[in-house]
Amino acid sequence: MPVSPSYDVFCRVVDHFGDAGICWRLARQLAREHGFAVTLWIDDRAVLARIAPVLDARCDDQIRSGVRVRRLAAPMPEDAKPADVVIEGFGCGVPEPYLAAMAARAHAPVWINLEYLSAEAWIETSHGLPSPNPRLPLTRWFFFPGFTNRTGGLLREHDLLATRDAALVPAEDSTVRSPEDGGAPAEVLTVSLYCYPNSALPALFDVWSEGDKRIVCNIPDCVARSELDRWLGGNVPHQGTPIERGRLTLIVHPFVAQDSFDRRLWSSDVNFVRGEDSFVRAQWAARPFIWHIYPQAAAAHAAKLEAFLARYTSGLHGVSAAAVRDFWRAFNAGDGAATATAWPSLRASLPVLSTHGRAWASALAQQSDLATRLVNFAASRL
């Protein structure tokens, strides 16, 4: 076993910022906290640069935040030598010449397929299973992130929760929040909206604008663009320019670095998140949240949504559990009428959900994090 093994992480962008975000977080943590030499091979550096502005999207080979970031394209550079541990993000595929070089090594690398996160029970029996390559003397190991000790766990930096708590210490003047959440007064309900296109949004904007409490909704640029255009009659707000309709204020913000997005989640009252990366970060934020799961053909995502709902609401009682289930299902179905109908119950449950969110995050934090489990998994096979 090498004294300090090297790691290569492969990423092909499918879910826009989600795939890139997860692989970037993992690569940074492997370098920063574990001290490994890490190379991130990614096909779309422009997407990654939107959430990691330290990167130069035009540069094929650069070192940022302790990680070597290289362009994933055919043909691969001649100096692309296999690392001791090869992580294939979400079954993205490792280039054939690289696979051949892996097989030619005297000691084959540990080849790990980092799968998508799920709360479904079957991943506990699939996590860690081997898959021998039919052509080459290589074995690929399946690594499933999850919510129990029998899975690969969740990405979490060692100081994440302490950093979150320190950032939320009330300032002397607590009547106005930080610019990270739009500078809203403390008595206003702040919402961070980061979702996929969703036909339920106009109806939700209606109920927010007609409600009895002021709401400030912060939206990253290019998110819900068509829904905003339809609801505002073509008057989509410019970045940073608030638009008010009744009790609702909409503010479109530029995309920010991952760390800044984390702070927005921490300081918002309600977080709408999507995919996997922001889904996990919303749980560490310990705030009420709504997960817009990545839609798949033939509603294949429905089982994943229900599995997480069952796990997440198991510690809630009656009305609050029903409020979460009803709103999440309606929103994920794109049902505007049902979403609008479900909002009052969800809003009434926010105090309970805030307490539940902190307990949920604290319980998950008792487990070891994904990077640590992955390092231990690889070390036992080197």
- pLDDT tens-digit map of 173-206: 444 455 444 556 668 999 999 999 999 999 999 9
Strand ranges, E, within the chain:
7-11, 38-42, 61-64, 67-71, 85-89, 110-114, 130-132, 139-143, 189-193, 215-220, 243-245, 248-253, 270-274, 289-292
Q: What is the percent of the chain with per-residue pLDDT over 90, rounded to a whole number? A: 85
Other CB atoms within 10 Å distance of the CB of residue 92: 19
The dihedral sign for the CA sequence 361, 362, 368, 372: positive
Reported as a pLDDT band with limits 50, 70 and 90, residue 102 is very high
| Separation in Å, CA 168 to CA 193, 336, 373 | 20, 34, 29
**How confident is the model at residue 183, as a pLDDT?**
52
Helix axes 277-285, 160-167, angle to 10 degrees: 60
Q: What is the mean pLDDT of residues 156-167?
A: 97
Query: Cβ-count burial of 187 within 10 angstroms (0-12 exposed, 13-18 middle, 19+ buried)?
Result: exposed
Q: What is the pLDDT of residue 261?
A: 96
Half-sphere exposure for 363 (CA within 13 Å, toward CB): 12
Catalogue the active-site residues.
19, 276
Name the pLDDT band for 1 (thresholds 50, 70, 90): low
Separation CA 265–CA 269 (nearest Å): 8
Question: What does the pLDDT read at residue 177?
Answer: 53
The string of DSSP letters for 17-60 reads: HHHHHHHHHHHHHHHHTT---EEEEES-HHHHHHH-TTS-TT-S
pLDDT, residue 288, reads 98
The pLDDT of residue 175: 45
Instruction: Give the pTM.
Output: 0.94
Return the pLDDT at 173.
46
pLDDT tens-digit profile of 73-89?
999 998 999 999 999 99
The alpha helices in 189-248, defined as continuous H runs, are 201-209, 225-231
Kindly state the tokens that stand for 353. 């959900």
Residue recorded with tokens 């290019």: 222
Tell whether the model's pLDDT for residue 17 goes beyond 50.
yes
**Spatial distance between the Cα atoms of 331 and 342, rounded to a whole number of angstroms:** 9
Average pLDDT over residues 231-237: 82
The letter for the amino acid at 305 is L
d(CA 168, CA 166): 5
pLDDT confidence of residue 176: 43
pLDDT value at residue 62: 97
pLDDT at 184: 60
pLDDT of residue 178: 52
Tokens of 282: 């919303």
Torsion region of 197: left, alpha or beta (phi above 0 gives left; psi -120 to 50 gives alpha): beta
How high is the pLDDT of residue 297? 81
The whole-angstrom separation of Cα 80 and Cα 61 is 11
**CATH class of the domain comprising 160-365:** alpha beta
Contact by Cβ (8 Å): 232, 239: no
Instruction: Supply the pLDDT for residue 14.
Output: 80
**Could you state, in order of their start, the residue ranges of all structural domains in the chain?**
7-154+368-379, 160-365
Percent of the chain whose pLDDT exceeds 70 = 94
Mean pLDDT of the chain: 93
